[in-house]
Amino acid sequence: MADEFSFDVVSKVDMQVIEDCVNVAMKEIANRFDFRGANAGIAFDKKEGKLTLTAQDEYKIDAVFDILMTRLAKRGAPLKNMDRAKVETALGQTARQVVTIKQGIPSDKAKEMVAAIKQVKLKVQASIKGDQLRVTGKSKDDLQQAMALLRGKDYGLDLQFDNFR
């Protein structure tokens, strides 16, 4: 039996799921009566992890965003990892909004998680490994308590636990 157990805390978004949801949302936008002639659309940059929503005005941008979020929720994509920027208005009665998809755990959030685990004084060690957090300990029960602690607090990200050893 192993003398130490561990798991990783990550925050990942499957870009293929996002792309599928964007395609379905675009079909819905094309078929909806309230978007006729509105030039509404969603552009997805897979490499940079950015969605660009375009429409006539801010109201239509919000409607496009709601359609997209509904599709993402149905597929189980993490909605907390979507970071909306301010709506930009341009000439020609168009508006644009960039939505950034957050991948990984930022260092400030990871430090906050490590501090929360240390504050509870569980017999586990938490260390930051790039954009993820590794939690190790001798007892599986302590690791499960650490998982429950991290699930219980809101860090503004959707957390997944993997790489159980």
Is the domain of 87 the same as that of 145? no
Arithmetic mean of pLDDT, 120-125: 81
pLDDT value, residue 2: 57
| Co-location of 85 and 118 in the same domain | no
Please report, for the domain that includes residue 59, its CATH number: 3.30.70.990
CA distances for 90 relative to 50, 55, 58, angstroms: 19, 10, 11
Residues 125 and 85 grouped into a single domain? no
Q: Which domain holds residue 151?
A: 5-12+105-162
Distance from the Cα of residue 69 to its chain's centroid: 11
Q: Give the residue from 101, 121, 152 where a domain finishes.
A: 101
Q: Tell me what the mean pLDDT of segment 130-159 comes to.
A: 82
At a CB cut-off of 8 Å and minimum separation 6, what does 13 contact? 49, 77, 78, 81, 101, 102, 103, 158
pLDDT digits (tens, 9 = 90+) for 69-87: 999 899 888 888 888 888 8
pTM for the whole thing?
0.78
CA 23 remoteness from chain centre: 19
